[in-house]
Chain A
Amino acid sequence: MSVLSPKSVLFTMLAVLAGLVSVSAIAADTPLKVGFVYVSPVGDAGWTSQHDAARREMEKALAGKVVTKYVENVPEGADAERVIRELAQSGYQLIFTTSFGYMNPTIKVAKQFPKTYFEHATGYKTDKNVGIYNARFYEGRYLAGIVAGKMTKSNIAGYVAAFPIPEVVMGINAFTRGMRSVNPNAVTKVVWVNTWYDPGREREAADTLISQGADVLTNHTDSTAVMQDAEAKKVYAIAYHSDMSKYGPHAQLTAVTHQWGAYYTKEVQAAIDGKWKPGSIWGGIREGMIRMAPFNPVVPKDVQDLVNRTAADIASGKFHPFTGPLSDNDGHERLAAGKVISDDALLKMDYYVEGVQGKLPATK
């Protein structure tokens, strides 16, 4: 053991100090590595495509300060955990996992990498280093419903839906309420396809709805099939996730689009500044996470104005799409007049509101 002389202590302290300075200098100069995990290929429309557009938007906004990487087409289940872990292992410091089925894998990996930040879209489990984020898709759905209610001639709207989870059911209900707020005779017919992405089945479902009299379609699935079918069969459609006017130049009335770019930019900036905290964000029109695509010129001016006014009211908090009286389609009252639904009740929604035809599958 060497004797500690005052000089050597001073020297050591200086060295440590210098080391600290250089480390923080590196931290400031090295771009933050941000990873994304996608459930489907990026494509040019749909859920994943919106997340990837947002990734590019964030990368552009923070040019030079971030490096991003995505892994696409990662199945939910056993494989997701490995991919998320690989990203964490390769030094990605903030990782966005963008599908509900990544929730438990994200939580598991986050425990093994306590210094890495994770953000999981659409789930409900959080941790010290796991935040969650989601959008109030139903706000856009309500607006879409207003357009559908004004444009339908048959008073039947067709809805192609993936899985009967609250997020999807909420959308169907919000759409129907929006529609009936301007057209109390209109009804919604739903076809479940039990898949997020299957253009063949989505198109078949759209055909079925058209043959049952629907003249405005919308969907909660991931492909452009419903829009293309509407274009081919000369009915209207309201797109979801992305603006699909390219696929339905005549059919698309408007679209409920997802906008994650501003949120990603904000979160990544917070991580760069060392101020990232696990949040639980459920943003809507106000936060800019939901935006309506430009209207088709066939939508009359007064309808466009009504939609824009309602959007402003939702954003300012003056109006909530689920304000009582609210009855389910069995006639039971779910919410008294004047009451506004709680977020908790929304997230557990397992009934159809008045105006939706049929029964929700697999409910007790």
Chain B
Amino acid sequence: MRIALEARPEPSRLMAWASPLLAAAATLVAGFMLFSLLGKNPLDAFFVIFIEPVSTRYGVGELLLKASPLMLCALGLAVGYRANVWNIGAEGQLTIGAICGGGLALWLPQLNGAWLLPMMIVAGAAGGTAWAAIPAWLRTRCNANEILTSLMLVYVATLGLSYLVQGPWRDPEGFNFPQSSMFGDNALLPLLLTGTRLNVGFLLALAVIAAGWLFTARTLAGFRMRVAGLAPCAASYAGISAKRTVWIGMLVGGATAGIAGVGEVAGPIGQLLPSVSPGYGFAAIIVAFVGRLHPLGIALASLLMSLLYLGGEAAQIGLGLPSAVTRMFQGMLLFFLLAADVFIGYRLRFRRSPGAGAIPAPAQGPTR
């Protein structure tokens, strides 16, 4: 007997709902085995990882705080991904956004926050957009693969930030350490919940999610992007410009990542450091796919990803698990989520004889 994956004639609606549950079940089983093997009570471990981090007001604030940059980056990336525009450089666009927004904060320390903060956000979005425009231009002009160019520009951006905080923008009072001065209160996003670090950047992320939904579901440009992704040939027959698709896909991703960068430096960090993000721009790629490139899905996936970060720390503090184990567990969960989504477009077939074993191409694949 052999097992084969067979394309479904059309994506299964049932599996679209059931696959996250399947993934959750698989994670629980695998986690149960993993934690038992390590000599920890799996139920305790699940509690510490998934419940404890959000059992306090502060914890909820942290969850939303950490989800915000993921939401912003992933939403912008998804706009491109739906149209087969592969922006891998959100981390760099985020960094440039942080430089532009943070630069304003250092440049205009006396300006009233009501003026300064919106200017910082606009500057961050503009910076991220400009950074994303480089791979877009290279793709449309020279046909350079945007996966490579956008990724390589991440390193350029981080080194640029590193240069600034070690050179011209270094804190004069900071013993030559590579960091800028702390921003004034006028350059810090107002807090939303007292006793937490949650700031209005979260509302901004929600607004961008809503805007992203409106764009994909309700505008002609959004429709064109979807067509370009689902059926590139049909799109070009219909007169949808492939170049325009690339430009929109890259620039939207750059703008949201740039805003996320401002949100970090004007939020929990409060200054420019050699590194302003623990890899949100890359984690957002996973978030975008776990969220199935849908704005609502992305919002949920960001919360899940954020919870996994917090749970990983809680497991170290509460259970004394090494960070490698918690990361392994996080990896398993994300793997199961993505793997279970295969069953939306495919089904398992058990065959008795060695028949046609190859995986046939899907008639209509999943939406990516």
Q: Which residues of A contact B (CB under 8 A)?
A: 35, 41-42, 69-79, 81-83, 85-87, 89-90, 100-101, 104, 124, 163-166, 194, 347-350, 361-364
Contact = CB atoms under 8 A, between A and B. Distances in A.
B268 A81 contact: yes
A77 B175 contact: no
Nearest to A41: B323
B178 A163 contact: yes
B317 A69 contact: yes
Contacts of A78: 65-66, 264, 267-269, 278
Nearest to B162: A194
Contact of B271 (A41, A104, A362): A104
B89 to A, nearest CB: 19
Contact of A362 (B166, B270, B275, B276): B166
Given A104-B271, A364-B167, A90 B317 contact: yes
Given A72-B322, A347-B175, A348-B175, A86 B317 contact: yes
Contact of A165 (B159, B177, B317, B322): B177
Contacts of A347: 175
A313 to B, nearest CB: 28
Contact of A71 (B163, B166, B317): B317
A47 to B, nearest CB: 16
A101 B324 CA distance: 22
Nearest to A42: B322
A96 B24 CA distance: 37
Nearest to A164: B166
A254 to B, nearest CB: 29
B179 to A, nearest CB: 8
A166 B175 contact: yes
A104 to B, nearest CB: 7
Contact of B274 (A74, A90, A163, A363): A163
Interface of B: 58, 62, 65-66, 159, 162-163, 166-168, 175-178, 182, 197, 264, 267-271, 273-278, 309-310, 313-314, 316-318, 320, 322-324
A133 to B, nearest CB: 16
A194 B62 CA distance: 30
Given A81-B197, A166-B175, A71 B316 contact: yes
Which 4 A/B pairs are nearest by Cβ-Cβ distance?
A78-B268, A362-B167, A75-B278, A73-B323
Contacts of B270: 104
Q: Which among A72, A78, A350, A362 has the highest number of chain B CB atoms within 10 Å?
A: A78
Q: Which among A77, A85, A348 has the highest number of chain B CB atoms within 10 Å?
A: A77
Contacts of A83: 313, 317
A41 B324 contact: yes
Given A41-B322, A72-B316, A101 B273 contact: yes
Nearest to B56: A89
Nearest to A363: B167
B175 A76 contact: no
Given A79-B278, A361-B166, A348 B176 contact: yes
A86 B168 CA distance: 35
A147 B120 CA distance: 53
A77 B310 CA distance: 15
A123 to B, nearest CB: 8
A164 B254 CA distance: 31
Given A77-B269, A100-B177, A87 B317 contact: yes
Nearest to A86: B317
A146 B320 CA distance: 43
A76 B273 CA distance: 9
Nearest to A82: B62
Contacts of B162: 194
Given A72-B322, A77-B278, A82 B313 contact: yes
Contact of A194 (B159, B168, B278, B314): B159
Given A82-B310, A124-B175, A164-B166, 6 more contacts: A81-B197, A165-B178, A166-B175, A194-B162, A349-B176, A364-B167
A124 B273 CA distance: 16
A349 B175 CA distance: 9
B263 to A, nearest CB: 10
A71 B313 contact: yes
Contact of B323 (A72, A100, A363): A72
Contacts of A89: 58
A72 B166 CA distance: 26
Contacts of B62: 82
5 contacts: A77-B277, A78-B278, A82-B310, A90-B317, A348-B176
Nearest to B165: A362
A163 B275 CA distance: 13
A152 to B, nearest CB: 30
Contacts of B197: 81-82
A363 B170 CA distance: 10
A277 to B, nearest CB: 23
Contacts of B320: 69
Q: Which among B65, B159, B176 has the highest number of chain A CB atoms within 10 Å?
A: B176
Contacts of B65: 78
B172 to A, nearest CB: 11
B317 to A, nearest CB: 6
Contacts of A361: 166
A73 B326 CA distance: 11
B193 to A, nearest CB: 14
A166 B176 CA distance: 7
Contacts of B323: 41, 71-73
Contacts of B324: 41
A150 B313 CA distance: 47
